[in-house]
């Protein structure tokens, strides 16, 4: 299962990369606007800081099919062959998907709010299909359930695509999809941090280290103990 960062701030991305096993970055126009500045420069910077082999997803903003194909080609020119172009599941987007696939693009279908939208995008040649989990929850539809349905549909039908679940607001939504065996998720740095952060862990480790400090002296570690030949047996 891939874990991606849904963000465009290079500092926040670097911070997440420094401690979590993540596989790349997804962006969308809103995320890039939130970061500000030249969005192309931002994508180039993100590409620079990502380890070799990581994924980078950038969303097309054209609304006409032919323009989407041109826009994807322009992005590929600057960001390289490995770029994933995110294509909205609009009528024009569906029409663009097979054209992009024929041209060798890696495609992520985005803006998905139903299982059939995702299924049709996978059938049209997308490598990933991205359901908006939390946004569906906000409409009273279980986003997690829809993402699980999509995953089952792909496997049952033998389609070579994966669910890339997006739009998370809490770590419980992510956990349920990990359990379901979903192919990939993308979430903001704060949601990813909550996947591993737990105050009870901090407390337990602090308490153990305090006990050890009482035994060998504060601020000392095994390294000092190994060096200190005079420490009593
Ligand atoms: O990148 C698409 C998706 O993550 C949108 O998330 O937070 O705007 O619902 P959000």
How far, in Å, is the centroid of ligand 1 from the Cα of 135? Answer: 8
How much distance in Å is there from the Cα of 167 to the middle of ligand 1? 4
Q: Mutation test of ligand 1: which of 84, 133, 134, 146 has the most ligand atoms closer than 8 Å to its C-beta?
A: 134
Within 6 Å (CB) of ligand 1, which residues are found? 6, 26, 28, 132, 134-135, 166-167
Per-residue pLDDT tens digits for 174-215: 999 999 999 999 999 999 999 999 999 999 999 999 999 999
Residue 114 has pLDDT above 90, yes or no: yes
Work out the angle between the directed axes of helices 39-49 and 65-79 (0-180°, nearest 10): 50
In this prediction, residue 232 carries a pLDDT of: 82
Q: How far apart are CA 184 and CA 165, in angstroms?
A: 6
pLDDT tens for each residue of 16-48? 999 999 999 999 999 999 999 999 999 999 999
Contact between 57 and 25 (Cβ < 8 Å): yes
Q: What is the CA radius of gyration of the chain?
A: 22
Alpha-carbon gap, residue 97 to 107, rounded angstroms: 7
Active-site residues: which are they?
Answer: 86
The rounded mean pLDDT for the chain is 96
Question: If pLDDT is split at 50, 70 and 90, which confidence band does 85 have?
Answer: very high
CA-111 nearest atom, ligand 1: 2
Can you tell me which residue has the tokens 């849904």?
A: 6
Reported pTM: 0.94
Report which ligand 1 atom has the smallest distance to the Cα of 166. 4
Residue nearest to atom 1 of ligand 1 (CA): 28
pLDDT at 79: 97
Q: Per-residue pLDDT tens for 132-147?
A: 999 999 999 999 999 9
The rounded Å distance from CA 80 to ligand 1 centre is 24
Q: In order of start, what are the domains of the chain with their CATH numbers?
A: 2-191 (3.20.20.70), 198-233 (no CATH)
Give the distance (Å) from ligand 1 centre to CA of residue 225.
Answer: 50
Q: Determine if residue 217 is left, alpha or beta; phi over 0 gives left, psi from -120 to 50 gives alpha, anything else beta.
A: left
Atom 9 in ligand 1: which residue has the minimum CA distance? 167
Number of Cβ within a 10 Å radius of residue 203: 10
On the question of pLDDT at 157 being above 90, the answer is: yes
Percent of the chain residues topping a pLDDT of 70: 100
Position 223 pLDDT exceeds 90: yes
Give the pLDDT mean for 84-95: 98
Assess contact for 60 and 72: CB atoms under 8 A. Answer: yes
Burial zone of 220 (CB within 10 Å; 0-12 exposed, 13-18 middle, 19+ buried): middle
Q: Can you give the pLDDT at residue 230? A: 83
Ligand 1 atom showing the smallest separation from residue 130 Cα: 2
User: What is the rounded distance in angstroms from the CA atom of residue 70 to the CA atom of residue 212?
Assistant: 63
In this prediction, residue 219 has a pLDDT band, given cuts at 50, 70 and 90, of confident
The closest-lying atom of ligand 1 relative to the alpha carbon of residue 27 is 1
Task: Determine the Cα–Cα distance for residues 160 and 94; give it in Å rounded to an integer.
Answer: 17
Mean per-residue pLDDT for 218-227? 91
């Amino acid at each position: 299962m891939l874990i991606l960062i849904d963000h465009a701030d290079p500092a926040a991305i670097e911070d997440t990369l420094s401690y979590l096993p993540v596989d790349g970055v997804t962006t969308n126009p809103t995320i890039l606007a939130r970061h500000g500045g030249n969005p192309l420069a931002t994508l180039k910077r993100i590409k620079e800081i990502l380890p070799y082999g990581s994924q980078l997803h950038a969303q097309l903003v054209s609304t006409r099919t032919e323009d989407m194909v041109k826009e994807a080609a322009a992005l590929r020119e600057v960001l390289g062959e490995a770029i994933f172009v995110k294509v909205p599941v609009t009528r024009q987007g569906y029409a663009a998907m097979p054209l992009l696939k024929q041209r060798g693009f890696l495609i992520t279908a985005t803006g998905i709010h139903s299982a059939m939208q995702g299924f049709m995008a996978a059938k049209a040649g997308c490598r990933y299909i991205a359901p908006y989990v939390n946004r569906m929850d906000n409409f009273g539809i279980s986003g997690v359930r829809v993402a699980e349905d999509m995953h089952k549909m792909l496997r049952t039908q033998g389609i070579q695509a994966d669910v890339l679940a997006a739009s998370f607001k809490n770590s419980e939504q992510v956990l349920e999809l990990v359990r379901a065996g979903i192919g990939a998720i993308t979430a903001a740095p704060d949601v990813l941090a909550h996947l591993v952060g737990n105050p009870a862990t901090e407390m337990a480790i602090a308490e153990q280290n305090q006990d050890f400090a009482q035994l060998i002296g504060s601020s000392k570690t095994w390294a000092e103990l190994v060096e200190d030949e005079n420490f009593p047996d």
